[in-house]
Amino acid sequence: MKKIVGTISLFFIMLVVVTSCGNNNGTNSTATNDSTSTNDSMQNTTKPGVTSADWGESDGKKVFSYTLTNKNGVQVKITNYGGTVTSWMAPDRNGKKSSIVLGFENLQGYLAKPPYFGALIGRYGNRIANGKFTLNGKTYTLATNNGKNSLHGGNKGFDKVVWDATPATGDSATLTLNYLSKDGEEGYPGNLNVTVKYTLTDADELEIDYTAQTDKATPVNLTNHSYFNLTGDVANTILDHTLQIDADRYTPVDTTLIPTGKLQPVAGTPFDFRQPHKIGERIDQVPGGYDHNFVLNGGGSVRRVATLTDTLSGRRLDVYTDQPGVQFYSGNFLDGSIKSPDGKPINKHAALCLETQHFPDSPNQPGFPSTILQPGTTYHTITKYKVSVEQ
């Protein structure tokens, strides 16, 4: 009898363990490891909301893959490793869904340090010259990871840390991520408490809402480094995509991609995207390809700043932001050494980034808008990427 009672209790304990396993923060998650696409499709429902799957561990912290689903059945996957957007399944003009962003189906892909695929970038997006800046009379030395410059936060930027994640409950497709960047991390002053809220809206927008507070003055420039290919197939380059950017000026750079400090008119140059142009049309006139910050017109509030279209799939991407700049990067350093989940090499120009941001190297450029966050104030910025189809 004792044995039967023991066996029954053991059964119930196991049942509780099995049903609660993988349930993070009370979401309707499963214990499935979605490291393969087969598991992915089994795990995901098209019910609006957030589901989660165990993705392993990094730095002793649990990593999850979260699937945000809106009422149209569009799904965006985000992992709390680097706050990274790993997939965005969007329909083409025939309703066929494929991912319009570069990404991997497991944590290992990201631990191999791809060039910031889909990641949150911080503490400072893009380059700071010579990894140095002076603030309130003190010179700070940052980790240099791009020749003599510091790029995207240094050796271990926000793209390589595990964020604390809180998925929304119910049918809202929101994931809130939090990370405390310690005073001195990668050379930056002040404890910076960062919260990033990703929401997949029913209008098929991925809204990224960033807030941060500090206890010492520090430069802050946060962005997302998603690489888009609207055809959904990396075998096609983005050279046939058409781009429009609302920018009358851009910031020319030196050979190490540090701005010269000038705000140069785009008129009469291959940087003039005020009217839509195919990316491949004038790229040969830009040594190395596009990797430049565009000075966006208007400002202060969230406005549409760029539109990318692809005639092959009919997909269209509109970018909205309150930021003063956007880094248009045409995937120049992609070289085929990384493979997509379907085994295709990710070649040069296989995808592009539109990183909404403050201008590169602002802490050393008195003529650029300030990126210094003061204690007692809140950094707050919103960017939205909206996907639609044109017939």
Task: Write out the residues near ligand GLA by the rule CB under 6 A.
Answer: 115-116, 126, 151, 257, 291, 327, 329, 333, 353, 355
Q: Which is nearer to ligand GLA, 185 or 355 (CB)?
A: 355
Is 355 among the residues known to form the active site? yes
| Cβ–Cβ under 8 Å, residues 220 and 373 | yes
| Shorter beta-carbon distance to ligand GLA: residue 53 or 243 | 243
Q: How far is CA 357 from CA 23, 132, 165, 293, in A?
A: 35, 19, 23, 9
> Cα(66)–Cα(27) distance, rounded to whole angstroms?
10
Q: Find the helix or strand (DSSP H, E) in which 107 lies.
A: helix 107-111
Of 152, 207, 225, 349, the catalytic one is: 225
Of residues 44 and 321, the one with the C-beta less far from ligand GLA: 321
Cα separation of 59 and 38, whole Å? 28
* Most distant pair of Cα atoms in the chain: their distance: 90
3-state secondary structure of 138: strand
* Burial category of 158 from C-beta neighbours within 10 Å (exposed 0-12, middle 13-18, buried 19 and up): buried
Q: Which tokens sit at 1?
A: 């009898």
Q: Say how many C-beta atoms besides its own lie within 10 A of residue 26's C-beta.
A: 9
**Residue 293 CB, nearest approach to ligand GLA (Å):** 8
If one counts every other C-beta atom within 10 angstroms of the C-beta of residue 148, the result is: 12
H/E run at residue 9: helix 2-20
Decide if 173 contacts 78 (C-beta within 8 A). Answer: no
89 is written with which tokens? 């399944």
Contact 222, 381 (CB under 8 A): yes
Query: What is the closest distance, in whole angstroms, from the C-beta atom of residue 255 to ligand GLA in the complex?
Result: 12
The span from the first CA to the last CA of the chain, in angstroms, equals 71
Is 64 in contact with 79 (CB distance < 8 Å)?
yes
- Minimum CB–partner distance for residue 49 and ligand GLA (Å): 32
Compute the least distance from the CB of residue 391 to ligand GLA, in Å. 32
Nearer to ligand GLA (CB atom), residue 82 or residue 115: 115
| Cβ 327 to ligand GLA shortest distance, Å | 5
Q: CB burial class (10 A; 0-12, 13-18, 19+) of residue 45?
A: middle
- Closest separation in Å from C-beta 337 to ligand GLA: 13
Q: Which is nearer to ligand GLA, 243 or 389 (CB)?
A: 243
> Among 152, 205, 355, 358, which one carries the catalytic annotation?
355
Q: Whole-number minimum distance, CB 182 to ligand GLA, in Å?
A: 24
Q: Which of 69, 104, 73, 90 is nearest to 175 (CA)?
A: 69
Q: Which of 65, 60, 61 is nearest to 50 (CA)?
A: 65
Instruction: Output 303 or 348, the one with its CB closest to ligand GLA.
Output: 348
The smaller minimum CB distance to ligand GLA, of residues 256 and 378, is found at 256
Q: CB of residue 329 vs ligand GLA: minimum separation in angstroms?
A: 3
Specify the DSSP class assigned to residue 64: E
Q: 229: how many CB neighbours lie within 10 A of its CB?
A: 27
Nearer to ligand GLA, 115 or 325 (CB): 115
> Annotated active-site positions, please?
225, 355
